[in-house]
Structure 1
Amino acid sequence: MNKHKRNAFIYAGIVALGGLIFGLDAALISGTVDYIAKEFGLNSIQIGFVVSSPGLGVLFALPVAGYISNKLGRKKALIIVAALYLVSAVTSTISPSYEALTAARFLGGLAFASLSLAAMYIGEIAPPKWRGKLVSMNQMNIVVGLSAAYFINYFIVSAISSDAEWALSMGVKENTWRWMLGSEIIPALVWFVLLFFIPKSPSWLVFKNRIEEAKSTLKKVMPENEIDPHIEQMKLSMQNTTEDNNSVLNQLKAIVSKPMRLTLIIGATSAIVQQVVGINAILFYAPTIFKQLGGGTDVAFTQAVWVGLISVVFTFLAILVIDKIGRRPMFIWGLACAILSLGICSYGFSTARYEITSQAITELNTIPNAERLQTLIGTEYKSDTEFKNKLTEVLGKEDAQEHAATLIQKSAKMKATLILIGILCFIAAFQFSIGPVMWVLFSEIFPIHLRGIAIPAFAFLTSISSYFVQLFFPWQLDNMGGGAVFLTYAILGAIGFVILYRFLPETKNMSIEEIQATLQKK
């Protein structure tokens, strides 16, 4: 590997560490849901607010992220969001109440703008032939963070279950969820420090007419004979840009103008469909979903680890082949596989049946006054919502919520293996296609003078879709049932498939300027 390629990978790797912090933040909360609900006495909507509060925070951050990245530069903007991650991790860990925890996680959500800023920075510093791989590193680090979080949660739960001496002596059993959330602090601190060592974005320097500084940065990532032509390409891209039309309002007008119409359709559809297929419902609530399969708490945390491992493997494969296969076939056919997998999950949940037996009641020695369940013997319930509503009626809200996993384990008759395969296939399809490819597209389809506003604007669509998915998933699961929830995700994904199949072009091995010309011509 020559020095230019090595430098490009190092800078991209440092920036992409933000994806790892995001992955940790996203998945660590999945293991804390039951513990937080019990400690603070939360209902399903309150649980949704705790889990989704970062998704709300990013909705406030993204509208100003573009302005900050244009005004201060991509590097300084990334340093700010790294500091927000660190503060959020510390305050979440020591939160004394539901309100304080929600506020601390909201603060961390302000840092979720790092995903769009990272894609922007890497897309601007990466030579065209490496751009796909380097931008995809961000997604790779997200899934590494996810996988690490599931392992951390599994490790902590296993230590508690086995009464490990270190866990007892350090109070892990009494503060399980705090240990889970606290594991994010050190990685967040490391990323904050490393960001001081990356160079400023060459595209931003050209945007600010600091040409010599831009050349100095480019010397680190490409041969000298390629620098001047690359600078000229960037200047050409911005030749009609004036200080007046650089205003946020005018840039937004340009994004929705006729020459940008195709870019708008592609960006908006991919931004929304990436989230409405339910990826963050699965990632943020993995143990909760797996408990619905009847395996119990320990099995649920083990199965969540598989989500992390599959995410890492298929994202790594995507990075290896994205510049060979191309963006269009990976996004389109990966989305098709994800839709099929969601359909399998919906079928599996829809055919499940639930029935309490007298033997099961005898074995439920962890539930106080389990004889209350005697009235349910012999009745078969045809949906998880019907069954859980009856449990709440008989046991009361608190006991039904606390012992739901055990009760489902003892009463469910379902195609659990089929559902598990469906979920894991969905994760594989998403991480091989929709997950990384969307950010690569965002780094390519917008002209340089608009990307500071455009990428955060379309990331805003992704984030608002993600927020509502996370917020309402616990309520949907309780009131609609797993079958209806997964069917909804499949239908929304199918709508996105139809639009992108019609409009999404191929962009591999093209410069950003060539992509603009192709899109405007089409």
Structure 2
Amino acid sequence: MQEKDTSSGIGYILAICLVAALGGILFGYDTAVISGAIDGITRHFDLSPTLKGWAVSSVVIGSIAGALGAGWLANVLGRRMTMMTAAVLFLISAIGSALAPNFVLYILLRLVGGVAVGIASVVSPMYMGELAPQHWRGRTLSMFQQSLVVGQTIVFFVNYFIARDAAEAWLTDYGWRWMLGSEAIPAVLFGLLLLLVPESPRWCIMRGQYDRARKILKRFTPSDQIEPMVEDVRNSLDSGNATGRRAMNRQRRDERRGSRSELRRPIMMGIALVGIFLSAAQQFSGVNVVMYYAPTVLSGVTDSTDSALLQTGFIGIVFIFGNLAGMYMIDRMGRIKLLTVGSLACIASMVTLGAIFWFDVQGYTAMFAIMVYVVGYAISWGCCSWTLLSEIFPNSIRGSGMAMAMGAQWTAGFIVAQTFPMMRGSEWLNAIFNGAFPFWLFGAITLVSLLLVWRFVPETKGIPLEGMESLMREKFKRGRVKQRDAYREADSATA
């Protein structure tokens, strides 16, 4: 009977996580829709190259603000209500930017969409991580990355079908508006389905709503495990706070101040820095070059806008299959091993892509290199980094830690989105590297990031969320011990 209940519980959790993953679909949809719309927007508003870059990257600025405020919102409103807030903002942005009569209003409404993206990027995986059982957590959390890529792929094909056989004048006046406005459909669906899912039981416990948490847990947890789970979360909150249970009783009054106080502890600051690094490295690997500028990169091997958009859609399909492979392997291989394999594929692909431009190689070799890159990224910085970010933060700083990490991610994303066309258009860099520089730069950054992962990021496979602080402490401690032993060996050799 318990086995049956457990099976039913897993199905219920997966259904809940699929609803939360719609936040990832909207995340991907909102950030990738611009790849097909940007040329029409540029012509319609007669934008300079600088303003064209701002039309693309403005959503990232909004995402930074949304990510930084998402942790506080998730703690005050709850995970579910915060996701519903994001759904409303997605809807406002989709309809408003599609109808924008001028460029200023377009930018303001894209910033609103960016705020929604930032909130979804923090709260959806946080919510999924808090509900998923530890032996399914890697695959469940990988659903968020998969949903992000599904959203991007859907909009690639939506853009293609809107632009197919359309006159340039129609695309300039109306086509881009239909592309942006199409996001209203998944936004409404997300908001409606959120009415059917429960609040995170961990959030309920943090707020002292123990009966509500028990009632939610009964729907997917064996009855003999409910009280131990409640106590584990309560104990983790107590042990994560220097003033113990007394600080827990002050939580509602001192929520913001308490989170900041926790982050002053060296171990918590170390964990926060690891989260910030993982989140920023995900963007500095160059993924936004593929998501925002793939049609630009592929322009040398296509004969029309339609063809470039269609090939970008095929790249999205490859991305989906790469994510499926990552979801299958992450709880078998572990996070760090899979991150290593995928990162090496990303590095090789960026080196190859740079060589293609260096030697001016024609044909579809560039598209093949990009496809290898997206598979490597999907199984590594895609699946693994989202999973690690949802795991490593202790309960007491999860909201603020995820917010800082996502703020760093979107800051890095803005830098990449804004600087890539500048590097591609630099006469000085092109004279030296013939267009290869940005790709080799991203390859080098990915290599450095992988070395830092080996040093500072522990394997989290099979570790309960309540045990992450101890695991991170042990990882940092082992590094200090090795460093101390090296100094001792050096002193002995000198003596």
TM-score normalised according to structure 1 size: 0.83
Do structure 1's residue 4 and structure 2's residue 9 form an aligned pair? yes
Measured after TM superposition, the shift of residue 250 of structure 1 is 4.4
1:418-497 mapped onto 2 (5 Å cutoff): 418-479=365-426, 480-481=429-430, 482-497=435-450
CA distance in 2, matches of 1:420, 1:159: 23
Go from structure 1 to structure 2 and tell me whether the alpha carbon gap of 1:496 and 1:252 turns closer, same or farther (over 3 Å shift): farther
* 1:178-236 deviations in Å (ceiling 9; x for gaps): 11112111111110111121111111111011111111111112111111111111111
* 1:317-353 deviations in Å (ceiling 9; x for gaps): 211221111111111221121111111111111222x
Higher mean C-alpha deviation, range 102-111 or range 484-493: 484-493
Q: What's the counterpart of residue 36 of structure 2?
A: 31
* 1:253-295 deviations in Å (ceiling 9; x for gaps): 5335322355234312211110011111220122122114454
Does the CA-based 8 Å contact 1:125-1:218 persist in structure 2?
A: no
Q: What's the counterpart of residue 83 of structure 2?
A: 78
Do structure 1's residue 320 and structure 2's residue 325 form an aligned pair? no
CA distance in 2, matches of 1:307, 1:499: 29
1:224-263 mapped onto 2 (5 Å cutoff): 224-240=223-239, 241=241, 242=247, 247-255=255-263, 257-260=265-268, 262-263=270-271
Matching residue within 133, 149, 152 for 1:127: 133
**2:124 alignment partner, SS class:** helix
* 1:96-120 deviations in Å (ceiling 9; x for gaps): 2222211111110011121110111
Matching residue within 104, 115, 118 for 2:109: 104
Measured after TM superposition, the shift of residue 510 of structure 1 is 1.4
CA distance in 2, matches of 1:336, 1:269: 18
Matching residue within 6, 13, 22 for 2:18: 13
CA distance in 1, matches of 2:383, 2:264: 25
* 1:400-419 deviations in Å (ceiling 9; x for gaps): xxxxxxxxxxxxxx344332
1:201-216 mapped onto 2 (5 Å cutoff): 201-216=200-215
Higher mean C-alpha deviation, range 487-496 or range 470-479: 470-479
1:28-427 mapped onto 2 (5 Å cutoff): 28-112=33-117, 113-160=119-166, 174-240=173-239, 241=241, 242=247, 247-255=255-263, 257-260=265-268, 262-293=270-301, 295-352=303-360, 414-427=361-374
* 1:121-152 deviations in Å (ceiling 9; x for gaps): 11111111121111111111111111111111
Go from structure 1 to structure 2 and tell me whether the alpha carbon gap of 1:423 and 1:323 turns closer, same or farther (over 3 Å shift): same
Higher mean C-alpha deviation, range 213-222 or range 263-272: 263-272
Higher RCO, 1 vs 2 (CA within 8 Å, ≥6 residues apart): 1
Higher mean C-alpha deviation, range 57-66 or range 337-346: 57-66
Higher mean C-alpha deviation, range 478-487 or range 437-446: 478-487
CA distance in 2, matches of 1:52, 1:20: 19
Q: What's the counterpart of residue 479 of structure 2?
A: none
CA distance in 1, matches of 2:405, 2:43: 37
Does the CA-based 8 Å contact 1:45-1:472 persist in structure 2?
A: no
Does the CA-based 8 Å contact 1:262-1:503 persist in structure 2?
A: no
CA distance in 2, matches of 1:32, 1:145: 16
Measured after TM superposition, the shift of residue 462 of structure 1 is 0.6
Does the CA-based 8 Å contact 1:314-1:431 persist in structure 2?
A: yes
CA distance in 2, matches of 1:202, 1:139: 23
Measured after TM superposition, the shift of residue 17 of structure 1 is 0.4
CA distance in 2, matches of 1:294, 1:343: 22
Equivalent residue letter for 2:389:
F
Go from structure 1 to structure 2 and tell me whether the alpha carbon gap of 1:294 and 1:158 turns closer, same or farther (over 3 Å shift): closer
Does the CA-based 8 Å contact 1:20-1:146 persist in structure 2?
A: yes
Higher mean C-alpha deviation, range 451-460 or range 328-337: 328-337
CA distance in 2, matches of 1:252, 1:438: 24
More helix as a share of residues: 2
Q: What's the counterpart of residue 512 of structure 1?
A: 465
Do structure 1's residue 501 and structure 2's residue 454 form an aligned pair? yes
RMSD: 2.0
**1:197 alignment partner, SS class:** coil
Does the CA-based 8 Å contact 1:127-1:222 persist in structure 2?
A: no
Segments of 4+ moved more than 6 angstroms: none
Q: What's the counterpart of residue 492 of structure 2?
A: none
CA distance in 1, matches of 2:381, 2:203: 28
CA distance in 2, matches of 1:205, 1:265: 27
Does the CA-based 8 Å contact 2:271-2:472 persist in structure 1?
A: yes
Measured after TM superposition, the shift of residue 157 of structure 1 is 2.1
Does the CA-based 8 Å contact 1:269-1:500 persist in structure 2?
A: no
**1:433 alignment partner, SS class:** helix
CA distance in 1, matches of 2:317, 2:324: 11
Equivalent residue letter for 2:207:
K
Equivalent residue letter for 2:121:
L
Do structure 1's residue 22 and structure 2's residue 30 form an aligned pair? no
Q: What's the counterpart of residue 474 of structure 2?
A: 521
Unaligned runs of 5+ in 2: 242-246, 476-495
Measured after TM superposition, the shift of residue 18 of structure 1 is 0.8
Does the CA-based 8 Å contact 1:44-1:474 persist in structure 2?
A: no
Count of residues in correspondence between the two structures: 454
* 1:349-371 deviations in Å (ceiling 9; x for gaps): 1222xxxxxxxxxxxxxxxxxxx
Measured after TM superposition, the shift of residue 468 of structure 1 is 1.5
**1:283 alignment partner, SS class:** helix
Q: What's the counterpart of residue 383 of structure 1?
A: none
**2:199 alignment partner, SS class:** coil
Equivalent residue letter for 1:225:
D
TM-score normalised according to structure 2 size: 0.87
Equivalent residue letter for 1:11:
I
Does the CA-based 8 Å contact 1:125-1:221 persist in structure 2?
A: no
Equivalent residue letter for 1:336:
L
CA distance in 1, matches of 2:396, 2:463: 18
**1:239 alignment partner, SS class:** helix
Equivalent residue letter for 2:385:
M
